[in-house]
Amino acid sequence: MKNEFQVIADLIEKDKKVLDVGCADGTLMKFLKDNKNINIRGLEISKEKVQECIAKGLTVIEGNAEKDLKQFPDKSFDYVVLSQTLQAFLNPELVLDELLRVGKKAIVTIPNFGYWKVRFHLLFKGTMPITKTLPDEWYNTPNLHMCTIKDFFHFVKSKDIKIFKSLALNNLDKSTINQSNLGVKNLFADLGIFLIEK
Amino acid sequence: MNTEKNIKTLIVKKPLKLDCGKTIKDFPIAYETYGSLNSKKDNAILVFHALTGDQFVTGINPVTNKEGWWSYAVGPDKAIDTNKYFVICSNVIGGCMGSYGPSHKDPDQKIFGTNFPVITINDMVNAQYNLLDHFGIDKLFSITGGSMGGMQVLQFICNFPDKSKTVIPIATTSSHSAQNIAFNELGRQAITADSNWRDGNYTSNDTNPGKGLAVARMAAHITYLSKKGLQEKFGRKLQEREDLKFGFDADFQIESYLRYQGSVFVDRFDANSYLYITRAMDYFDLAKQFNGNLSEAFINTNAKFFIISFTSDWLYPTQENKDIVIALNSIGADVGFVEIESDKGHDSFLLDVPDFLSALKNFLDKSYEEN
């Protein structure tokens, strides 16, 4: 399991009710179910991935986060997880609002467009950056709204969203982001992980 | 009848009050089982059949000598694995494969015909519930069925919320739509317009409204397929002829196919049963039983739901299946949902659709492991 999922799992206490939005093949769900006795649900748009989740014995709903989150009642999950998908929605702001309505807390991770390798790629090669967390070409990427850790940090603050924890991840390296080190973390982390609440 | 010796029957002594107000008692429920009930009695799956199905789910139907209606899904090592599970299926009341229905005799030894009480999906499941007592099963492992079978699944878990661990409604709806009712009415009109129907007393008049019933089946059969499926299978292909004949014989293969479907159906199905069962489907509106709030139907159950729809099913489309998912999610129920890609229309649940069969198998087997 990738380090990102380990960090997310560490943020969630045992025996909670969790919704994994865009749960893919259910790797994180399975880990949470088996190791933390989490009452876990997934929402996934890909039919193939949904089948993989079913084969793992996971409860998954085939659906689209932009349309299908509205069926869940307010605060019906302790945590809602959204891993590296926010930038792929037509309207990320709306999805973020929905995550925070459905979940008592939300864990959102974003691939950082401010990461130094991304900046170098654009600066020196002059072409759209391709990195480990951003593997697609400009013409086939699902990402519509790329942002940096700094962008996201400012965005949630402007929406009066409370940040409980913000972590910068660079391979196996995990560190805390705060107002004073934001510029540095924005340069050296390829992933941001935010535990937020509204 | 020589067929009756192949039919297992439970006589229900307990009176059953029907939705129409009448009460029936000492009535037969015809059933079949597959696999064996384990000592803990926790491996039973109750399967509900659709409009024209019966209790003979898989293997050779001893009455028709044809494959059971769900042979692709049920059997040893199949999605519903009879090496592992004990499968029970019974003919619905109102049906014509041995359960109490319009071809049975009333207490005065007269064939009921249209004097048989109008039954509902609710009545069907209340009648079938007696099978649990019969087998001494406290809690089923699963209940499942497609189409009208799915309606019975929903009504069953609503009526008996703690009697099944898992619940699998397939290609179904919680409320029959105007379009569904319209197609059923077309079928009923075809039957009653046949002069041999004789107000439902065809048996005592020694006639059979076979033509009307065949037309009903032909119209319904079209609704079970998709436009794309029909086009790919038949297109405008001609039936054993080089060119159009400028007449009204079956020039096209699709015509011939439908005529065949109509004719074989008449051999195995009772016209009055068709009227009764389609009526039960039309009356089905689970939300209405709870003042329009479908979630209330499931508020008392802890069962794990898995709902399956098919992309090309326009009779019970994905959205109607999703409405059930939404109702369950809004009360925090444990519900999974998948829409299976298939060109085979509503009939997909009866056919060899590998994604469907593997999803069904995985859900059942993984849920059973967690037992």
pLDDT tens string A79-137: 999 999 999 999 999 999 999 999 999 999 999 999 999 999 999 999 999 988 889 99
Tell me if residue B346 is catalytic: yes
Could you tell me which residues come within 8 angstroms of residue B186 by beta carbon, excluding any fewer than 6 positions away? Answer: B216, B219
Nearest to A61 among B325, B355, B359 (CB): B325
CATH number of the domain bearing residue A62: 3.40.50.150
Tell me the residue range of the domain where A78 lies.
3-113+143-197
Domains (ranges, CATH) in chain B?
Answer: 2-175+284-369 (3.40.50.1820), 181-278 (1.10.1740.110)
The answer to whether position A158 is within a domain reads yes
Do the domain assignments include residue A125? no
Closest chain A residue to B367 measured between Cα atoms?
A57
Residue in chain B lying closest to A67 (CA): B326
Average pLDDT, chain B: 96
CB contact under 8 A, A59 and B325: no
Q: Has residue B113 got a pLDDT over 80?
A: yes
Sole residue written with tokens 């619940």: B167
Whether residue B147 lies in the annotated active site? yes
Would you say residue A68 lies in a domain? Answer: yes
Count how many domains chain A has.
1
pLDDT-based confidence at residue A43 (cuts at 50, 70, 90): very high
Q: Does B157 have pLDDT greater than 60?
A: yes
Q: Is the pTM of this model over 0.90?
A: yes
Task: Looking at A59-143, list the stretches that DSSP marks H as alpha helix, in order from N- to C-terminal side.
Answer: 65-68, 92-102, 116-120
**What integer pLDDT is reported at residue A1 of this predicted model?**
85
pLDDT of residue B2: 41
What number is the average pLDDT over the span A8-36?
97
B104 an active-site residue?
Answer: no
Contact between A71 and B362 using a beta-carbon 8 Å cutoff: no
Separation between Cα atoms, residue B242 and residue B251, nearest integer Å? 10
Report the C-alpha gap between A163 and A167 in whole angstroms. Answer: 11
Mean per-residue pLDDT, B134-138: 98
Tens digit of each residue's pLDDT (9 = 90 or more) over B229-272? 999 999 999 999 999 999 999 999 999 999 999 999 999 999 99
Helix, strand, coil fractions of chain B, as percent rounded to 5: 40, 20, 40
Has the ipTM of the complex gone over 0.90? yes
Looking at the DSSP bridge assignments, the partners of residue A197 are A162
A173 lies in some domain: yes
Residue A18 lies in a domain: yes
- Phi and psi angles of residue B297, each rounded to the nearest 5 degrees, phi first: -65, -25
Residue B121, Cβ density class (10 Å: 0-12 exposed, 13-18 middle, ≥19 buried): buried
- Is A17 within a domain? yes
Q: Show which residues on chain B lie within 8 Å of chain A, measured between beta carbons.
A: 304, 306, 325-326, 329-332, 334-341, 355, 358-359, 362-363, 366-367, 369-370
The shortest CB-CB distance from A59 to any of B331, B334, B369 is to B334
In a domain, A135, yes or no: no
Establish if A137 belongs to a structural domain: no
Specify the long-range contacts of residues B104-113, CB closer than 8 Å, at least 24 apart: B104/B28, B110/B204, B111/B201, B111/B203, B111/B204, B112/B272, B113/B199, B113/B200, B113/B201, B113/B202, B113/B203, B113/B204, B113/B272
Shortest Cα distance from A1 to chain B (angstroms)? 22
